[in-house]
Amino acid sequence: MESAAADLQDTASLTLKFEFNPKLGIDNPVLSLAEDHDPSDLRSLERPRFCLLSKEEGRSFGFHLQQELGRARHVVCRVEPGTSAQRQGLREGDRILGVNNHVVEHEDSEVIRRIQASGPRVLLTVWAQRVLDVARALQGNDALLCPILGPEVRPRLCHIVKDEGGFGFTVTHEHRGSFWLVLSTGGAAERAGVPPGARLLEVNGVSVEKFTHNQLSRKLWQSGEQVTLLVAGPEVEEKCRQLGMPLAAPLAEGWALPSKPRCLHLEKGPQGFGFVLREEKGLDGRLGQFLWEVDPGLPAERAGMQAGDRLLAVAGDSVEGLSHEEIVSRIRAQGSCVSLTVVDPEADRFFSMVRLSPLLFLESTEVRGSPQDTCSASLAEIKNPPVEDTAMPPVPVGSRQCFLYPGPGGGYGFRLSCVACGPCLFISQVTQGGSAAQAGLQRGDMILEVNGYPVGGETDLERLKQLAEAEPPLCLKLATRSPQGLEAWIPPGSGKRFR
């Protein structure tokens, strides 16, 4: 370790003494190691560079990758002049260790897949190869080479719908481009997930970095009855400052978004899947792949497909940049079971406005879904609980109301189960730290009412479907069960994650 630090110090002193002669060229490998860094700042050699790239209409990010033979390493082999990649400092020979908030250094195919799924903006974590070798020897901790932001410590994309109190915030500022939000207690912004003391970064996909206060006020007024803000709380600002990481939109969590992508799982029937895929121009004028002629009663409709949906991914892999024929081949290659990620026209418009890919806001970080996550899956029914426990279910010992707001990605963070011969709907799992846990939901709670409507009898499954469509906040009246016999009513693995 001491040797590596000494080598690094020597590199700085050699760089200062060397004078570059353009006629002779550069043949000094020591200089090449540090030529783009301030030699007096050794910290610049101890952390990665972050390149936030924007894809211009009809163009690429402007760089090419090659994979090292026999290794899961992706190296930038060419940067096109005049492109976003060049302007943001991406260089030939850079190693890509991270894409958005994911470490991809040792993933064979994840780099390209995640870049494609990132849409018009992507944040790359990169190192020059020689700098990386020295930094790895110096630090001895790979986690520091590609830092990521944990849950709740990321920028937030918040959709705010104006109520009688307006948007529920006022704006303070120090100078051009620096704005902070002061929230009204219980107001629309607070309910939409805007954290206290949040810094405002974007309005409807437009950076406020160069806005004056009057320009920002005009932008908010033009938004009408609803607005989507990219914000960062104080702890997020501080964390990104420590890491040298930009407060970038591709890092954001979605809070109470009006639309989100849907993952459909189709199993081919005797009459096929029951839909047609066409390439045509979308509402924004861009070519895309759209789903039409969804046949009633066939697998596509049962999985939740709607005519006019835009196709985003097949089996979790983005179709961005693929031809119609290539996409058809990928669907056929899935055989009788196909997984498709889609958005409806409303969601398509929303994500185009904020200039982010819908694939960044799936419920899970893994685009690939399991059958339990399908739009067509129904609530699990436990038809045969143990005989000794069916005669007397656990007795509710009190009732209470809980108000829930969607968390990151739009979910509430709990699972429901249904018992056919007992109390119908109850909480079988609560995600630690999620919206449900924060609201006080507990495993075993029985649902009595949903948004003021009683739950019980044959309407339970219909009521469950309404949960996913209800406008936040979600109001649940719950009865707390006694712990005795609870395990018999919640078999391991039962239930469906509520989204």
Mean pLDDT of the chain: 76
Residue 1 has pLDDT above 50, yes or no: no
Q: Indicate whether 8 pLDDT > 60.
A: no
As a 3-state breakdown, the chain gives helix, strand, coil percent values, each rounded to 5, of 25, 30, 45
Which range, of 255-259, 385-389, 407-411, 416-420, averages the lowest pLDDT?
385-389
Supply the pLDDT for residue 6.
43
> Amino acid identity, residue 20?
F
Q: How confident is the model at residue 144 (pLDDT cuts 50, 70, 90)?
A: confident
Residue 203: count of CB within 10 angstroms of its CB? 20
Q: Which of 97-106, 332-341, 385-394, 487-496 has the lowest mean pLDDT?
A: 385-394
pLDDT, one tens digit per residue, over 96-117 is 999 998 888 777 667 888 888 8
What HEC string does 115-168 produce? HHHCCCEEEEEEEEHHHHHHHHHHHCCHHHHCCCCCCCCCCEEEEEECECCECC
Q: What is the CA radius of gyration of the chain?
A: 26
Residues ≥6 apart with Cβ < 8 Å to 319 = 289, 311, 312, 313, 326, 327, 330
Residue with the bigger pLDDT between 401 and 376: it is 401
At residue 43, the pLDDT reads 52
Question: What residues pair up with 408 in beta bridges, in sequence order?
Answer: 255
Q: How far apart are CA 198 and CA 493, in angstroms?
A: 39
Q: Are 124 and 90 in contact (CB under 8 A)?
A: yes
- Model pLDDT for residues 319-328, shown as the tens digit of each residue: 988 899 999 9
Does residue 270 carry a pLDDT above 60?
A: yes
Chain position carrying tokens 């060229």 = 25
Residue 351 has a pLDDT of 94
In the beta sheet, which residues pair with residue 474? 404
pLDDT at 228: 96
Which range of 51-60, 140-149, 400-409 scores highest in mean pLDDT? It is 51-60
| DSSP-based three-state secondary structure for 287 | strand
Q: Summarize the confidence of residues 29-37 as an average pLDDT.
A: 34
The average pLDDT across 235-248 equals: 92
91 and 214 Cβ atoms separated by less than 8 Å: no
Amino acid at position 405, single letter: Y
pLDDT in tens, 424-451: 677 877 776 677 777 778 877 888 888 7
In this prediction, residues 56-84 reach a mean pLDDT of 83
CB atoms closer than 10 angstroms to residue 407: 24
Confidence band, pLDDT 50/70/90 cuts, at residue 285: confident
- pLDDT for the residue numbered 145: 84
Identify the burial level of 480 via C-beta atoms within 10 angstroms of its C-beta, where 0-12 means exposed, 13-18 middle and 19 or more buried.
Answer: middle
CA distance 415 to 497: 4
> At how many degrees (to 10) do helices 2-17 and 129-139 cross?
140
Which pTM value belongs to this model?
0.65
Tell me 361's DSSP state. G
- Where is average pLDDT lowest: 67-76, 194-203, 309-318? 67-76
State residue 108's pLDDT score: 64
Residues of the chain with pLDDT > 90, as a percent, come to 41
Query: What band does 33 get if pLDDT is binned at 50, 70 and 90?
Result: very low
Per-residue pLDDT, 466: 59
pLDDT of 340-365, one tens digit each? 999 999 999 999 999 999 999 875 33
Q: Please report, as a single letter, which amino acid is at residue 286.
A: R
| 150's tokens | 């944990």
Question: 132 to each of 44, 115, 150, 153, 364, how far by Cα in Å?
Answer: 12, 22, 23, 26, 31
Residue 72, pLDDT above cutoff 70: no
Total Cβ atoms within 10 A of residue 383? 9
pLDDT for res 22: 37
Q: Which of 237-246, 249-258, 392-401 has the lowest mean pLDDT?
A: 392-401
Stretch among 131-140, 212-221, 304-313, 441-450 having the lowest mean pLDDT? 131-140
Does the N-terminal peptide bond of residue 473 adopt cis geometry, omega within 30 degrees of 0? Answer: yes
Q: Lowest mean pLDDT: which of 39-48, 66-75, 302-311, 339-348?
A: 39-48
pLDDT, tens digit (0-9, with 9 covering 90-100), for 173-230? 888 878 999 999 999 999 999 999 999 999 999 999 999 999 999 999 999 999 999 9
Q: What are phi and psi of 378, to 5 degrees?
A: -100, 170
Query: For 139-150, what is the mean pLDDT?
Result: 76
Rounded to whole angstroms, the Cα distance separating 488 from 76 reads 56
